[in-house]
Amino acid sequence: MTPLGARLRAMREQRGLSLKEMAEGLGVSSAYLSALEHGRRGRPTWLMIQRIIAYFNVIWDEAEELQQLAARSHPKVIIDTAGLHPAAGELAHRLAGEIGRLSPEALGRLSALLDEVAARDPRGSSG
């Protein structure tokens, strides 16, 4: 599930909506919406994000959050390590090979560690 998919599902469930009801309200098929929630579809278009924002009648911070989540929600991530230190390529390949075996807790710890390292790195973070 992508970050946007998880947020959409939570918003839908908080409002007591079925997948079918939300799909009809957005003018898409239930299959498309299900695939979007489960991360089996690519990043939605800008227009689709605007429809979701209007459908849920969200403004300002929540609308911006949905747009940011959509930007980070492509199910097939590509990491370009060209021109980086060889350790970057090694880490990217290792993560690609191991990510499917990691528990949600382990993924959370890795994410927190990356946040901690990026905060201490004088060059900043690109993510």
In a domain, 126, yes or no: no
pLDDT tens per residue, range 25-74: 999 999 999 999 998 888 899 999 999 999 999 988 989 999 999 988 87
Domain contains 58:
yes
User: In this structure, is residue 76 part of a structural domain?
Assistant: no
CB 24, CB 90: distance < 8 Å? no
**Structure-block tokens of residue 89:** 């390529």
Domain annotation covers residue 11: yes
Domain span at residue 92 reads 86-120
Q: Total domain count for the chain?
A: 2
Q: Does one domain contain both 33 and 61?
A: yes
pTM of the entire predicted model: 0.65
Same domain for 98 and 53, yes or no, is no
